Every structure is written in C-alpha cells, then in structure tokens.
Structure 1
Amino acid sequence: MGKEKPLPYRQLFIICACRFAEPICFTVIFPFILFMIRDFNLTDEKHLGYYVGFITSAFAVAQLLTGIHWGMLSDRIGRRPVILFGLFGTLSSILLFGLSKNFAWALFSRSLCGLLNGNVSVLKSMVSEITIEHSPEQRARAFSFLPLMFGIGSILGPMLGGLLSNPVETYPSIFGRGGPLTDFFTEFPYFLPCFVSAVICALGLIFGIFFLEETLESAKPTTQDPPTKVFHELEEERPLIQHNEDYNTFNGTTTDDSDRRSTTSPTPTLPDQSPAPSFRESLTPAVLAICLAYALFSFQAIFYDELFPIWTASKRENGGLGFQSDEIGIALAYCGCVTLFVQLLLLPAWTRWFGQLRLFQIVLFGCIFLYLGQGFTRYMYNIPDPSGHTQTKFWVWVGLILTSTLKTMFHTTAFTSCTILTNDAAPRLDCLGAVNGFAQCCASGMRAFGPATCGAIWSASLGAEWIPYPIRIHISWITLSIVGVVTFYSSTKLNPVDYDTSKFLREEQVFPPPEDEEDMNRRA
C-alpha cells in the first residue's frame, strides 16, 4: 500500500497568512467599542448596548448581502483575485473605523468591511481544493488551520485594541509630550490599534500578491487541458506496448493490432464534462441541514462575543464585572491562546475518539450549561481572596478564566466541525464557492441579528425595573442558553451518512489507477 500523500503545507501556509490579518481587524475593536460609543455621547450607560450591537451587526449585515456573490464570483474568475480584493477592503475599512468621530461614520466603515470582504468562504474553498486527493483525516487537519489562524488573530487583535487605545492617557511619556502626534491621538484615541491592524493586513495583502496560487482548475493558467496533462503523467508509468496503444486510442488513431486489442484492454476515457450545478442544485438537503446548524451556532457565538465585552465593561451595579479595557483585552487574548492549544493538541484526539459529527453535538450540549453558569462569576467578588479581603478581583479572574477556557474549547471545536461538515456535504467540487458562500451568508445573517439582539436584551433587561434585580441581570445569559438548546437539537437531526466521508474523494479520476507491472505485462 502506497504512502499517504503529504499535505501541500507551503500553499496552506500562504492561505493562513492571508487569513491571519482578518481576525485581527475583526477583534481589535472589541476591548474599546463600548468606550468609543460612550465617547460619542449618544445615550446613558444603560442603553449603550443598543449602539454597540448595531456597530457589530453592521459587518455581518453587509457580509450577508454580498457573501454568496463573492463565492459565486470566485467559482467563475478564480479564488485568488477575490481573496486579494477582500484583503484590500479590510485594510481600507479598519483605517476608516479608527477615524470615527461619530456613530454614523463608525457604522459606515464597519459596513464597508463586510461589503468588500468575502474571504472566509473563499479560503475554505481553496483549502478543500488543494486537499482534494488527501484522506479525510488529512483534510480535517488542513481545515483546522483556518480557525487556528483566527485563534492567533484573536490573541493579537484584542491585545492591540486593549493596549493601544487612547495612547495619550495610556502612554503619556511617548504620546503625551504635545505636538501634532499628541493632538491627533487626542482627537482620534482609537486610531492607533486600527492603524497597526491595517499594517498587518497590508503585509498579508503583499504576501498574497507574490505567493498565493490559484486553486480553481478552470482559472489556472495552462497550455493544455487537464485530461491531456494527466494522460501524459500516467503514460510514463505504462509498459512500452500498452503506452503506444493508449496513446493511439487517446488521439483517435488505431492500428489493426491495437484496434483488435482494444476490446480486451481498458481504454482511457475522459471525465464527464457535465455543466456545473446551478446555485439551487448545489443546496442539497445535506447542505441545508448543516447550514442551519451552522447558522444557529453562529448566532449564539456572536451573541456571546457581543455580550462578553458589554458584561465585563459594565459597572457592577448594572450587572457587569467593572473591568477596564486592558483587562478585557487580556481576557480575550487568553481565549486566543486556548484556541491554539485546542486546535493543535486536543481537537485531533477528540475527532479520533468521537468522530466529527458526534464531537460537534457534544460541545453544543456543553454550551447550554456553560452559558447558564457564567453570569454567576460576578458573585465571586464576595469570596475572600488569599489575603482575606473581599470585593477584590482575584476569584473573579479565576471564575472568568475557567468559564472562558470552556467556552473557547467548545466554540473552537464547533466552528471547525461546521467548516469540515459543510465542505463534506457539498455535492461537487465546482460548486464549493457557492456552498461556502451560502453557508457564510447563513452565518452572517445570524451574526447580524445576534449583536443587535444581544444589545437590545441587555439594555431592555436592565431597564425593566419591574423584574427583580437578581433575575434581570441574568436574562441575557438565560436567553443565550435557550439558543444553545435549539442549536443542539438541530445538530441531532443531521444524518451521519451525509457527513462522514468527503464526497470529493469519491469522484472518478480521469483514468483508473495504474495496475501493477505484472498484470499490465500479462495484458500486453
């Protein structure tokens, strides 16, 4: 039995480099978004959640409107130009966001990022295409690199946002000496982290321009048809007599001898040149089922991601933890570190033990109880620390680290599972862009709805004084847990037969696999 074909690590590395910049630009705003909205002087403290939700939703709403179109465009013109344009759009929009002086400008720049960027679904298609000839285990390993890059970006993004925002006050010895630089960062206190994120994105764009290769077969520059190329690769491995026969057969010429033998020897045939499936034909029941589960999980994930900075930054009397932006940045960066650990060490073992679909269902079940319990972390202020003092953050940090670890483990595993199961459900290779674009739009739709819903529920529950205080500060967490129940139920309806094996690995090759030498000589 032949050795397992090695993964194309060089191309995977380049794809990851292009992916790395985007989560930085996406997560860099989380530590300071509440403070930015507060600086706009739009409303009181209790209603800030509404506006934070609108900002976060703007990206997803815009991506919902364009995600399918970017995916289908990549099916026609190739993956590479779409990826490069998406990086340019991300770079431009994050710079504009850093220059926000009012809510309308922030909303516009965040929407622009979603409109000009469809890279997530296209990058998934690229990974699927370059691993088409590999085993399911290798494909799972390759697909895990994308959320791994998101995890690394999720470390750096919040750190940049938390440590570099408002630099005049944070680093007065560097930025507080007066002059144009001090004046600029006083007027735009959140530009510096956005600028650094844009520089990282620009590096990814430059790297992609010089090194990213096209993976869509029809968009690759080539001087001969793929079947002809495959034939010439295979003919070198055949005995001389059969080599001549197959060459004559392939080119439409025969001799009497070869014509007589063609009735007993296998003749190479060209693959079925059926047209690519339409968008509607690409959405098989298996695709729709996993996209529904993906959408529901995306809703609860973005709901959590929106709730976490609001909850941690809000004052304790308003149900929050009373953390500062740098503390929030550290907590989010820690979650990124856990993502790396899960992707590199835990996820491969878990997948081997439970299987991809079963593992997906297990972590969704765990999320239900995690959400119910995390809101109680604020009560750890009342527990004496090792020095015997209460109202300190020692045990609050312990509880926050524990719940954040579990959340990151569950969410990382679930997102990777969604990606793999979606690609395995696609009916054909030439509709991967459309399928991943549709899945991304389903997720974006929920991500658009999630932050606004989270902000509204948080603000409405705090303002509902007719509800007892100990209950209303937990309403957001209870709502999130209910969403977790619905998501888990949807996952139980997935048919394992549709997702256990990659359909692409069952596609017919241009020629049958070469026979061993003894069998071929016997036929000759």
Structure 2
Amino acid sequence: QRSTRDPEKFPTVQLFLLAIVRLAEPIALTSIFPYAWPLVKKFHVGDENDASFYAGLLISAFALAESLTGMFWGGLSDRIGRKPVLLMGCTGTMMSMILVGFASNIYMALAGRAIGGVLNGNIGVIQTMVAELVTKPEHEPRAYSIMPFIWSIGTIIGPALGGTFADPATSWPDTFSQDGLFGRFPYLLPNLLCASLLLISILAGYFLLEETHPDMQPRVLLPDDTYVSEETPLVATADAIKTPAVDLRADTYGTFEGSDDSKWRHATEKNRTPKIFSKRVVALIVALGIFTYHSMTYDHLLPIFLEDARGETNISILTHAAIGSPLSSGGLGLSVQKVGVIMSINGVIALFVQAVVFPLAAEMLGIHRLFILVSVLHPIAYIIMPYLVYLPATWVTAGIYTCLTVRNMLSILAYPVLLILIKEATPSPSVLGKINGLAASAGAACRTVAPPVAGYLYTLGSRMDFSGLAWFGSAFVASIGAIQAFTIKRTKKEQGEE
C-alpha cells in the first residue's frame, strides 16, 4: 500500500503510533517489580529467606533470554521487515504476562519471563524504525528523544499497576473472593491489565503503523540517502529498564561541547577497515557494564528492602549505626501497594532528571567531566540506603524520596554520558553497529547476573543481621567503576584514524 507520508516533514503521526506500541512494553516489564518478592515467597521455594535470591532470578530471566536472541530478531527484521518483528515481540511479551499471572510454581514463572525475553527483540527494532522514519538530520534530536521519554513514562505506570492490583482479594475482599480466580492467582490481575494494554498496542500497530524498511515501500517517496547499505551502522540500542530521556523542546540537543558528530556521521572514508577494539572503546564498554550491574542491583534491592519486615532496633545497634555499620536485619515493612506508588514517583523523579537536569549538566560541565563526577559520587547512592531503617516513622517517606533523588541524579546522568562517549570513541560509523552490539551484550549480561547476586547478598545479610551487606556490595562495585573512570582518557578523533 502506497504511503502518503512526506519524508521532508517531521513524522509526527508515525512516531506517535510507534510510541503507543512502545508504551505498553515498559508498563508490562516493570509491573512485576513491586510484587516479585512476595510472588516468590508464595511459591515456598526453599527457605523463606532465600526469596530475594529467587526474585532476582525471576527478574533476570527476561534479560538473559533477550540477550541471547536480540541479534536474531534484528537480522530477521532486515529480511521480513520491522513491523512483523515488532508485533511478534509485543505478542511474545503478552503471552509472557499471562503465563506469569497463572504461574503456580517458580519454574512456570521463570519460563514465562524467559519466553518473554526470547520472543522480544523490540528495543533494537524500534530504534531502527525511528532512524528510518527520520530522514532529515535536523529532525534527529527530537525524534531520538521520544522513545526514551515514552519508556520512562511506562516505568511510572508499570509499578503503579503492579503494586495497586497485586493480590486484589486481600486489598479488596468485598470485590474479589479468596476462593475466586484472583484469590487462587493473586498476581494475575496486574498481568491481565498489562496484557490488555499490549493487545491494544498490537492492534494499533497492525492497522495504523507503516513499515519503515527501505526495501519494502515505494522508493519514490524516500530520498536516496534513506536506503541502507551494508555499511550503515545499527542505531544504538537503549537499556530495557534505564533509558534516559531528554528535553523534547530543545532542537539543538546533542550538539553541546564534545558531542557534535556531524563530521563523523557523514564521513566518506570507508576504504580501510578501522580498528574496532581500541583501548578506549573496550574501557568504555567495561565502564558501561559496571554501571549496568550496580544500577540493576539497586532496581532489584529497592522493592525488597522497602517491603521486608522491620528488624529489631536497639541501643547497641544505633551505636553501630553511628560509626557506620548498620547491623540490623529487615527493611522498612511497607505494603506492596505503597511500594508501587513509591516506584512510580521514582519514575517521575527520573523523568525530571532526564528532561531538565541532564541537558543543563551536560552543557555546563561537558560530557567527560560529568562522567567523572557521577562515577565518583555514585557509591553514595548505595551507602545511604540501609540507614533508612533508623529514621523515625514520620521521616521515613522523606528519607526514601531523598535517597531516590540522589540515586536518579547520578544514574540518569551516567547512562547517556556513557553512550555519547562510546559514540565518540567509535573510529568510523561503519563499525558503530558492532560496537553498540558488544555494548548491548555486555549490558544484558550484567543485568542477568546482578539480581541473583544482589538477592543472595541480601539473604546472607539478613541471616547475619547486617541489612547493609547487599547495598555495600553494590557500593563496592560502584567504587571500582569510579576508579576505572580515571583510566579512560578523552581524546579527539583524528581524521582517518583506524
């Protein structure tokens, strides 16, 4: 069918439709965060104290499966088109949600999460569709900012849905019977709601979204430089849980000091095969892996720590706390519903940092100095968390949001800075896809390992009456990242550098 879209104009309608498809996915993927821990405890797998470890496995199963099949789906989209792969990814995620909702044991839940990861290759496909929709360079900054912004909105709605509608027979006993469907499957309702949103996105995509693959639409409607050659790099993929947004109003975003890549992007020197794995590229990918690891441990530990029952606090414990050793078991004892609200507000804080703080900080400090600053300060975000157990009840909420603000100010700034530095370190646009592929694989591997390791440390700390063990473990990894950041030297790319 012949498209009527003018390639000279900003593709507002198609990007809006793509955003609708995109929005349902982060809602579905993050809705499990508030209730992953109680879901695992319901299955009675081993000792109850091991629930945090198995909750980590449950969350990381998606990332592991996704990392194994991401390149396959990207290659398939080159052969059959972007739209079919995108819709298959949404369908796979919908099936995954329903399977997790009906899970009666840990193995069924793990299978559901893994199936969702195996069938989902949408991150790279959506970024590629954005690149193919936008054919004018002046439209790129606004277009590339939309999907991360939508992802952040989804991470606000998802935990709110999961926390609010988890175990409805307990929350609303007059409406939902303990002997009914939602009593026997207490976490089915939020999964059905998310699956319904995915169904809407699938229908909208099927009937309204256009295919963007250059070889599968009328050539007359597209400029010559739209057609992708074998040397065209893949677009950098975004993290599934932490993708930074930007100021949508700024037409010049991405051109602050040190990040203008216009000469690099339009380079015509392609005769020589550039060296891909330079020391700087490898060092930056290692830095991205370290950041992804400790950032994912925070996302996993946060709901567990907030929901875990409070331990005993006495004078001797407070004395230990005063000298910097939080010897206490347990967390803050909040309800799943309240944790869902907290995580949604956390998403609002992140959205503000993405849209307002990051452009200002990058403009004022420059990319490299901002990278060093957030790397050095990052351990603080983890060190302060276990001390929340010593706050008076009236101060706990303010303390939680203070800690979340500190964390977002650091992590939300770190991710886009690392992506920009990796782009600057890439010797040629013809190898950007390979380098981004390696970075994405490293990130997925670290996201897979982080939750079970953090969960194990939290379990170990609970047995030792040392609630800060897992948090301090993450702070240690972040400290390694801070030291490693000083080994990365920022150099200007020379013309024709290999």
The verdict on a shared fold, with TM-score over 0.5 as the criterion, is yes
The change in CA–CA distance for 1:48 and 1:139 in structure 2 (over 3 A counts) is same
Q: 2:135, 2:223 within 8 Å by CA — same for their partners in 1?
A: no
Task: Look up the match of 2:33.
Answer: 30
Equivalent in 183, 189, 195 of residue 186 of structure 2: 189
For the residue of structure 2 that corresponds to 1:209, the secondary structure is helix
Deviation at 1:341, TM superposition (A): 1.6
- For 1:349, give the aligned amino acid: L
Equivalent in 331, 341, 356 of residue 330 of structure 1: 341
- What's the CA shift string for 1:98-155, capped at 9, x where partnerless? 11110100010011111111222332334445556425xx645543333322221111
- For 1:443, give the aligned amino acid: G
Q: Report sequence identity in percent.
A: 31
The change in CA–CA distance for 1:228 and 1:172 in structure 2 (over 3 A counts) is closer
Matched, 1:144 2:145: yes
Matched, 1:307 2:308: no
CA distance in 2, matches of 1:356, 1:140: 17
Q: 2:176, 2:183 within 8 Å by CA — same for their partners in 1?
A: no
Equivalent in 180, 198, 202 of residue 201 of structure 1: 198
The change in CA–CA distance for 1:229 and 1:405 in structure 2 (over 3 A counts) is closer
Q: How does 1:50-65 map to 2 (within 5 A)?
A: 50-65=53-68
Deviation at 1:420, TM superposition (A): 4.5
Q: How does 1:254-265 map to 2 (within 5 A)?
A: none
The change in CA–CA distance for 1:218 and 1:417 in structure 2 (over 3 A counts) is farther
Q: Which has the larger radius of gyration?
A: 1
Matched, 1:404 2:404: yes
Task: Look up the match of 1:348.
Answer: 359
The change in CA–CA distance for 1:439 and 1:10 in structure 2 (over 3 A counts) is farther
Q: How many residues align?
A: 433
Deviation at 1:273, TM superposition (A): 12
The change in CA–CA distance for 1:229 and 1:292 in structure 2 (over 3 A counts) is closer
Task: Look up the match of 1:442.
Answer: 442
Task: Look up the match of 1:520.
Answer: none
Task: Look up the match of 1:482.
Answer: 476
The change in CA–CA distance for 1:196 and 1:429 in structure 2 (over 3 A counts) is farther
Deviation at 1:15, TM superposition (A): 3.1
Task: Look up the match of 2:209.
Answer: 212
- For 2:382, give the aligned amino acid: Y
- For 1:160, give the aligned amino acid: L
CA distance in 1, matches of 2:226, 2:58: 51
Matched, 1:455 2:466: no
Q: 1:71, 1:434 within 8 Å by CA — same for their partners in 2?
A: no
For the residue of structure 1 that corresponds to 2:331, the secondary structure is coil
The change in CA–CA distance for 1:108 and 1:134 in structure 2 (over 3 A counts) is same
CA distance in 1, matches of 2:91, 2:457: 35
CA distance in 2, matches of 1:15, 1:120: 12
CA distance in 1, matches of 2:21, 2:473: 36
CA distance in 2, matches of 1:229, 1:132: 6
The change in CA–CA distance for 1:334 and 1:77 in structure 2 (over 3 A counts) is same
Deviation at 1:22, TM superposition (A): 1.5
Equivalent in 307, 310, 314 of residue 316 of structure 1: 310
- For 1:155, give the aligned amino acid: I
For the residue of structure 1 that corresponds to 2:174, the secondary structure is helix
Matched, 1:374 2:385: yes
Say what the alpha-carbon RMSD is for the aligned residues.
3.4
CA distance in 2, matches of 1:276, 1:213: 37
Q: How does 1:461-500 map to 2 (within 5 A)?
A: 461-463=461-463, 465=464, 469=465, 472-497=466-491
CA distance in 1, matches of 2:429, 2:221: 21
- For 2:56, give the aligned amino acid: G
Unaligned regions of 5+ residues in structure 1, if any?
231-270, 382-391, 507-524
Deviation at 1:83, TM superposition (A): 2.0
Q: 2:214, 2:226 within 8 Å by CA — same for their partners in 1?
A: no
Deviation at 1:462, TM superposition (A): 2.4
The change in CA–CA distance for 1:344 and 1:291 in structure 2 (over 3 A counts) is same
Matched, 1:111 2:114: yes
- For 1:446, give the aligned amino acid: C
Deviation at 1:219, TM superposition (A): 5.0
- For 1:171, give the aligned amino acid: W
Q: 2:284, 2:488 within 8 Å by CA — same for their partners in 1?
A: yes
Task: Look up the match of 1:157.
Answer: 158
CA distance in 1, matches of 2:271, 2:72: 19
CA distance in 2, matches of 1:66, 1:353: 40
Unaligned regions of 5+ residues in structure 2, if any?
1-7, 228-266, 312-328
- For 2:462, give the aligned amino acid: L
Q: 1:71, 1:433 within 8 Å by CA — same for their partners in 2?
A: no
Q: 2:374, 2:414 within 8 Å by CA — same for their partners in 1?
A: yes
Matched, 1:41 2:38: no
The change in CA–CA distance for 1:409 and 1:273 in structure 2 (over 3 A counts) is closer
Deviation at 1:494, TM superposition (A): 4.3
Deviation at 1:404, TM superposition (A): 0.8
Deviation at 1:281, TM superposition (A): 7.4
The change in CA–CA distance for 1:291 and 1:173 in structure 2 (over 3 A counts) is same
After TM superposition, the score normalised by the length of structure 2 is 0.77
For the residue of structure 2 that corresponds to 1:174, the secondary structure is coil
CA distance in 2, matches of 1:425, 1:82: 31
For the residue of structure 2 that corresponds to 1:175, the secondary structure is coil
- Higher mean Cα deviation, 194-203 or 114-123? 114-123
CA distance in 2, matches of 1:353, 1:85: 43
Identify the structure with the greater helix proportion: 1
- For 2:330, give the aligned amino acid: G
Equivalent in 9, 13, 16 of residue 16 of structure 2: 13
After TM superposition, the score normalised by the length of structure 1 is 0.74
Q: 1:360, 1:417 within 8 Å by CA — same for their partners in 2?
A: yes
- What's the CA shift string for 1:230-282, capped at 9, x where partnerless? 9xxxxxxxxxxxxxxxxxxxxxxxxxxxxxxxxxxxxxxxx9898998xx976
Deviation at 1:492, TM superposition (A): 3.9
The change in CA–CA distance for 1:276 and 1:185 in structure 2 (over 3 A counts) is farther
- For 1:24, give the aligned amino acid: I
Deviation at 1:31, TM superposition (A): 1.0
Q: 2:132, 2:226 within 8 Å by CA — same for their partners in 1?
A: no
- For 1:186, give the aligned amino acid: G
